[in-house]
Amino acid sequence: MKTKEIRDLIDFISKSGLNEVNIETDELKLSVKRNADVQTQIVESGAVHPVAAPVVNANPYVPSIPAAKPAEDNTPGEEQTVKYAEIKSPMIGTFYRSPNPESDSFIKVGDTVSSGQTVCVIEAMKLFNEIEAEIGGTIIKVLVEDASPVEYDQPLFLVDPA
């Protein structure tokens, strides 16, 4: 959201009879309160959500043909595991691709990830663990189905570090 839009919004709110307004979009959360203890908080959301609709992984059990396949033209199959890096599970638990059932996946095939970016959540005994990518690159394949159990050190994503 641009500064002008925010300004317009605050103008709008001040002209309205509202005492408190909270607005939330993918890019920001805006909370404006009209009292003496004026509180204006703008929290830029950390995660940048792609505008594109989430890719529906129809049935991950079927040997899947990823929608985006940048390596297809010149890399023979056997070399893929050598060339690509894996993001592995640091723990036993249940693998989730999105922060909660209503949200989009953290990442999908074809997305570029950077080191430190959250790629999935692994839940163990009701403790939710945000797993970060240790390497940057392009997601080639998601190796585990959403909401399924994973073991320690199990590969979760295939990443093309190039």
Partner 1 sequence: MYKSLAKTSIVGKKVIFMPSCHSTNDICAEFVTAGQGENGLVIATDYQTNGRGQGANLWVSDKGENLIISVLLDTSFLAVSQQFYLNMVVCLSILEVLKNFLGENVKIKWPNDIYYSDKKVCGVLIQNILKGTSMEYSIVGIGINVNQVEFSPENAASLRMITGKWYELQTIFELTGEKLEKYYLLLKDGNNESLKRLYLKNLLWYQEAHNFALKSGEEIKGMITDVEESGRLIIKSGEVIHRFGYQEIRFVR
Please report how close the Cβ of residue 28 comes to partner 1 at its closest, in angstroms: 11
Choose between 43 and 52: whose C-beta lies nearer to partner 1: 43
Two tokens, residue 24 = 């939330």
φ, ψ of residue 106 in degrees (nearest 5):
-60, -50
Task: Choose, by CB under 8 A, the member of 13, 85, 109, 131 that binds partner 1.
Answer: 131
Rounded CA gap, 116 and 131, in Å?
9
Are 113 and 139 spatial neighbours (Cβ–Cβ below 8 Å)? yes
Is residue 62 a contact residue for partner 1 (CB under 8 A)?
no
Q: Which residues pair with 147 in a beta bridge?
A: none
Is residue 8 a contact residue for partner 1 (CB under 8 A)?
no
Task: Choose, by CB under 8 A, the member of 17, 63, 76, 101 that binds partner 1.
Answer: 101
Three-state secondary-structure class, residue 53: coil
Rounded CA gap, 132 and 121, in Å?
9
Is residue 45 a contact residue for partner 1 (CB under 8 A)?
yes
The site that binds partner 1 (CB under 8 A) totals a number of residues, namely 30
Binding piece for partner 1, criterion CB under 8 A, among 62-70, 72-80, 104-112, 122-130: 122-130
Rounded CA gap, 39 and 33, in Å?
6
Task: Choose, by CB under 8 A, the member of 132, 136, 146, 155 that binds partner 1.
Answer: 132
Please report how close the Cβ of residue 133 comes to partner 1 at its closest, in angstroms: 10
For residue 45, give the nearest of 23, 66, 62 by alpha carbon: 23
Two tokens, residue 98 = 């999105």
Task: Using CB under 8 A, list all residues that contact partner 1.
Answer: 20, 22, 24, 29, 31, 33, 39, 41, 43-46, 90-92, 100-102, 116, 123-132, 134
